[in-house]
Amino acid sequence: MKKAVQRDMDWQRRYYREIEAILRSLAHVMVDFRIGTDDEDMKRATDFVLEVDANATVAGRMRRLVSSTGRVLRERDLTLRLSRPSGVSTEEEKILSGWARWYLYIWTDSDGRITEWIFVDLDELRRNWPALLRQSTTMPNRDGSSTFRCIPAVGLQQQGCLVHWHRPTRAAA
């Protein structure tokens, strides 16, 4: 594994407890609640049923406010790698093939704190892919070896793909 990739993975791992807390706060999205049927109640002592989405797989990505090249990332785009010289499947290819049901996309501030995140319904993203493509742009990776598709979070919201957008609260002036 390349050192830069390992460094990024190690950086993200530092946040796993916070990421777990975010996903726990979103569990209601992946779990349905219903009252048990009369038959379930009388024959199986089941008054309530929690049905967990069998496909509750979550893709995740974290972005720093300042990139490794020193560029300040003010845009709120979901970026998906769309080309790779090695020929290994890209994130975009995997998602469009049906892998992962949800996407947790996180941004940190200049102090390294998680300040903003979006939770994306990937089934809706796949259904709305043609419209999202029209709103997207591409950008090269910092090393020039691959490219990314950038889909504005606002576009995801307009297409009904955003389940939740957590934004920092602004202090009143």
CB-facing half-sphere around the CA of 56: CA atoms within 13 A: 13
Of 5, 12, 9, nearest to 106 by C-alpha is: 12
Question: Is the separation of the CB atoms in 60 and 105 below 8 Å?
Answer: yes
Judged by average pLDDT, the poorest of 68-82, 85-99, 105-119 is: 68-82
Q: What is the pTM of this model?
A: 0.84
Instruction: Determine the pLDDT at residue 84.
Output: 75
Burial of 125 (0-12, 13-18, 19+ CB in 10 A): buried
**Cα separation of the two ends of the chain:** 48
Return the domain boundaries, the chain.
Answer: 3-166
Helix H or strand E encompassing 165 = strand 162-166
8-50 per-position pLDDT tens digit: 889 999 999 999 999 999 999 999 889 999 999 999 999 999 8
Checking phi first, is residue 71 left (phi over 0); if not, alpha (psi -120 to 50) or beta? beta
- Per-residue pLDDT band at 75 (split at 50, 70, 90): confident
Rounded Cα distance between 30 and 27, Å, is 5
Instruction: Determine the pLDDT at residue 170.
Output: 66
- Per-residue pLDDT band at 153 (split at 50, 70, 90): very high
- Per-residue pLDDT band at 73 (split at 50, 70, 90): low
